[in-house]
Structures are given as C-alpha cells and as structure tokens.
Amino acid sequence: MPSFDITSKVDLQTLDNAINVAKKEIGNRYDFKGSHVEIDLNKKDMVVNIETESDMQMRQVEDIVLTKAMRQGIEANSFDMTKEPTASGKNLKKQIPVKNGIDREVAKKIIKLIKDSKAKVTPAIQDDMIRVTGKKIDDLQEVIQLCRSSDLDIPLQFVNMKS
C-alpha cells in the first residue's frame, strides 16, 4: 500500500550555517561596531540565544537571523518568535526556540483536516510525525496538496513516499 510521512524537521547543519552567516554579517556591519551583540545556537535544545544592548538592535539581529535562515532554506515559521526579550543588567537577552517535530495538538489538527476532506487515506500519529497510507498514490497527492494549502503555522515536509 502506498504511504508517506508528514514531518516538521529543521536540519541542524543548515541552521548552524545560517547562524554563522548571520554572525559574520553582524561583525561586518557598521551600525553594530563597538556594541555587544552575541548570537549562539544551543544545538542540544535547538534554541537560538541572542544578546544585545538595545531593543532596536535585538529586532535587527532577529531580522538578520530570519533572513539568513530563509536563504538557507529554513522556513520563517520554524522559529518561535513569541517570547519577549528579558533584561539582564544593561543587556537584553532573548531565546528563540526552533520548532522541530510535530507536537500532539498540531498532529491532531492535521489528522482532523485529512479526515474532514473525505480522502480515502488512513492517517496515524507516530512519535513526532504522521504516517498517511492509502490505496492510490493520487489520494496521497491530494492530501499533500491539502496540507500545503492549509495554514498550520509549522513548516511541513513530506518524506518516505512509497508505492
């Protein structure tokens, strides 16, 4: 039976490259000369840590990181930008978690979306991904188009297509 998996993963090496390119650009920019700006990627927890002197610099650094990540092929909604920066002495610190994997609530929403479409497929949650099986590849392709057209606030990848 044909099947495929719906996942939401960010490649760690690509993210690391994007952070390094952002660090290099910030080091070269005139408006950041002589100011304290620090960007760090916690690879274990998949969190980008940013430390700056002012709120304006924080917003600029966030924009640079997002731009460089998007140029590397990482979608902007992979970053959870909802947390506010916290003051630490005279500096501002912000942690930006990177969404990796599909959590239960979003997985249930995707499964409900697939079932409401009346497609002749069977979705099943497996850890942090969803396996979709069906009798025809055309049905699976319909589900892929349905997931791409819906607004789910997370980047989705469709992998392991088997016929």
Assess whether 57 and 18 both reside in one domain. yes
Assess whether 57 and 81 both reside in one domain. yes
The count of residues in the chain is: 163
Assess whether 34 and 93 both reside in one domain. yes
Q: How far apart are the C-alpha atoms of 111 and 81, rounded to whole Å? A: 26
Looking at residue 152, what is its pLDDT?
A: 80
Range of the domain at 23: 12-97
Give the CATH number for residue 24: 3.30.70.990
List the one residue out of 1, 6, 43, 17 whose CA is nearest residue 163. 1
Assess whether 22 and 84 both reside in one domain. yes
Assess whether 24 and 86 both reside in one domain. yes
pTM passes above 0.85: no
- Output DSSP code: residue 150: S
Domain boundary among 57, 76, 97: 97
Q: How far apart are the C-alpha atoms of 85 and 87, rounded to whole Å? A: 7
Cβ contact 153:77 at 8 Å: yes
pLDDT tens digit at each of 163 positions of the chain: 888 888 888 889 999 999 999 999 998 888 888 888 899 999 898 999 999 998 888 899 999 999 999 999 988 888 888 888 888 888 899 999 998 888 888 888 888 888 888 888 888 888 888 888 888 888 888 888 888 888 888 888 888 878 7
Cβ contact 139:120 at 8 Å: yes
Q: How far apart are the C-alpha atoms of 101 and 83, rounded to whole Å? A: 19
Task: Record the tokens describing residue 18, joined without a space.
Answer: 């994007």
Looking at residue 118, what is its pLDDT?
A: 84
Assess whether 41 and 92 both reside in one domain. yes
Assess whether 22 and 81 both reside in one domain. yes
Looking at residue 6, what is its pLDDT?
A: 86
Q: How far apart are the C-alpha atoms of 100 and 154, rounded to whole Å? A: 9
The total number of structural domains in the chain stands at 2
Assess whether 85 and 112 both reside in one domain. no
Looking at residue 83, what is its pLDDT?
A: 86
Positive or negative torsion for Cα 45, 47, 51, 54: negative
Assess whether 114 and 126 both reside in one domain. yes
Looking at residue 51, what is its pLDDT?
A: 92
DSSP 11-52: -HHHHHHHHHHHHHHHHH-GGGTTS--EEEEETTTTEEEEEE
